[in-house]
Amino acid sequence: MRILGRLVLMSAIVLTGAAGASMADAPIAIAIHGGAGTIRRADLTPEREASIRADLESALRAGHQVLADGGSAMDAVVAAVTVLEDSPNFNAGRGAVYTADGGHELDASIMDGRDRSAGAVAGVRNIRNPILAARAVLTDSPHVLLSGSGAQEFAIRQGLELVSQEYYDTPQRLEQWEQAREASRTMAAIPVEYRLGTVGAVALDRAGHLAAATSTGGTTYKRWGRVGDSPIIGAGTWADDRTVAVSATGDGEFFIRNAVTHDIHARIEYLGEAVQVAADAVIDGPLTASGGTGGVICLDPAGHIAFSFNTAGMYRGSIGTDGSLTVAIYGDE
């Protein structure tokens, strides 16, 4: 009996060690975006381009470090998106665009691929990091989407940091708002790039779980409490361990009408398409055909990363399963 007991114990130790080694060797990956649109080299000074690339890299490294330390995909996408929300270079958090009344209203969502649990906030005006509020909705409420003053009251109860509206102000966004206001007076079209801009992340952790997160300031000069796709599960965000994690950016109304992120998931689940094939089929197919512009970042359970967009550029980056880091802005990179 003693010998048998020792053999059982030794077998358990061997199996535990093997599992630990297997977990340590399991693939991890992360991809991010900072918005899609008419992004031309002539429109960015070398200094601004360098700043954007640096922020994208910082977000990637923040999220990847969580994964490398054995953290969850959920924690990784929150870490990455928080960095992007705190940067004035992107239309989320600190760099959010202005509404028609000269304020800021922000949206965010997050989804856990393990069980499709999700949380989101819409139309919040004083939460420093909306992605943290979305995560709290998932973990600490029975709901999926909270909006406006109710979402803010919830955030206060959760102890999240609040800021003044002025916190989100940036000179670039103010200039865009002034140009949009003038365009509205003369009935001119507001430039398409003022309608775009969102940040997001998708991640795969060592346990094989996927997660996706998206955050935005919406569209310049938006009215009447407009809400786009970013806080809408299946439109701007999706994650399912069996298929894919997706975060979207672009013309929100078109992403909602076409259920873009869920459609990519469905093509993988029902047609067995590879992640890049599915992403391209939706972006180049129903989204483009309906007049929508934008893009997605996708990550499948094997760690394959896909970027797909029908605009001139998309702020994006990834750290793949091999540890290689890439950051890109323009369509020809």
Which tokens is 196 given?
Answer: 């775009």
Q: Which pLDDT does position 7 carry in this prediction?
A: 44
**Active-site annotation holds for 198:** yes
Q: Which pLDDT does position 189 carry in this prediction?
A: 61
Q: Which pLDDT does position 11 carry in this prediction?
A: 45
Provide the b/e sequence for 133-157 (b: ≥16 CB within 10 Å).
Answer: bbbbbbeeeeebbbbeeebbebbee
Is 256 contained in some domain?
Answer: yes
> What whole-number distance in Å separates Cα of residue 229 and Cα of residue 256?
6
Is 21 contained in some domain?
Answer: no
Q: Whole domain around residue 105: which residue ranges?
A: 27-330
CA-wise closest residue to 163 among 119, 200, 204, 132:
132
Looking at the DSSP bridge assignments, the partners of residue 305 are 299
CA-wise closest residue to 308 among 298, 295, 320:
295
CATH number, domain with residue 301: 3.60.20.30
Q: Which pLDDT does position 39 carry in this prediction?
A: 79
Q: Rounded to the nearest 10 degrees, what angle do helices 275-282 and 260-271 cross at? A: 130
Residue spans of the chain under pLDDT 50: 1-16, 18, 21
Is 204 contained in some domain?
Answer: yes
Q: Which pLDDT does position 16 carry in this prediction?
A: 43
Is 5 contained in some domain?
Answer: no
Is 220 contained in some domain?
Answer: yes
Q: How many domains does the chain divide into?
A: 1
Q: Which pLDDT does position 186 carry in this prediction?
A: 67
Q: Which pLDDT does position 196 carry in this prediction?
A: 62
292 vs 52, 131, 219, 251, 277, CA distance in Å? 25, 25, 14, 6, 19
Is 19 contained in some domain?
Answer: no
98 conformational bin, left if phi > 0, alpha if psi -120 to 50, beta if neither: beta
Catalytic residue among 198, 219, 261, 293, which?
Answer: 198
CA-wise closest residue to 78 among 150, 153, 139:
139
Is 168 contained in some domain?
Answer: yes
Which tokens is 165 given?
Answer: 């509206």
One-letter identity of residue 101: D
> What whole-number distance in Å separates Cα of residue 218 and Cα of residue 314?
16
Q: Per-residue pLDDT tens for 111-137?
A: 999 999 999 999 999 999 999 999 999
Q: Which pLDDT does position 179 carry in this prediction?
A: 86
CA-wise closest residue to 135 among 86, 77, 71, 210:
77
CA-wise closest residue to 227 among 219, 248, 176:
219
Q: Per-residue pLDDT tens for 279-316?
A: 999 999 999 999 999 999 999 999 999 999 999 999 99
Sign of the alpha-carbon dihedral angle for 290, 296, 301, 302: positive
